[in-house]
Amino acid sequence: MSKRAGVPPSESPRHNRSRQVAELLPSVGGAAFRRFGFVQSSIVTRWPEIVGERLASASTPESIRFPAGRKQDGVLTLTVRGAHAAMMSHLTEEIIERV
**What pLDDT sits at residue 71?**
76
Secondary structure of residue 79 in the 3-state scheme:
strand
Provide the 8-state DSSP code for 64: E
At residue 75, the pLDDT reads: 86
Q: What is the pLDDT of residues 10-58, one digit of tens each?
A: 555 656 666 665 565 555 555 555 565 555 567 888 899 999 999 999 9
**Residue 98's pLDDT band (boundaries 50, 70, 90)?**
confident
83: in domain: yes
Residue 38: inside a domain: yes
For residue 44, tell me if it sits in a domain.
yes
Q: Give domain status of residue 6, yes or no.
A: no
Determine, yes or no, domain membership for 40. Answer: yes
Please return the burial class of 38, using the count of CB atoms within 10 Å of its CB with bins 0-12, 13-18 and 19+.
buried
| Interacting residues of 48 by C-beta distance below 8 A, sequence separation 6+ | 56
Does any domain span residue 9?
no
Domain-embedded: residue 5? no
Domains in the chain: how many in total? Answer: 1
Contact status, residue 2 vs residue 8, Cβ threshold 8 Å: no
Expressed as residue numbers, the domain containing 57 is: 20-98
Please tell me the pTM assigned to this model: 0.55
Q: Is 66:72 a contact under the CB 8 Å cutoff?
A: yes
Task: Identify whether 77 is part of a domain.
Answer: yes
Tell me how far apart the alpha carbons of residues 3 and 8 are, in angstroms, rounded to a whole number: 8
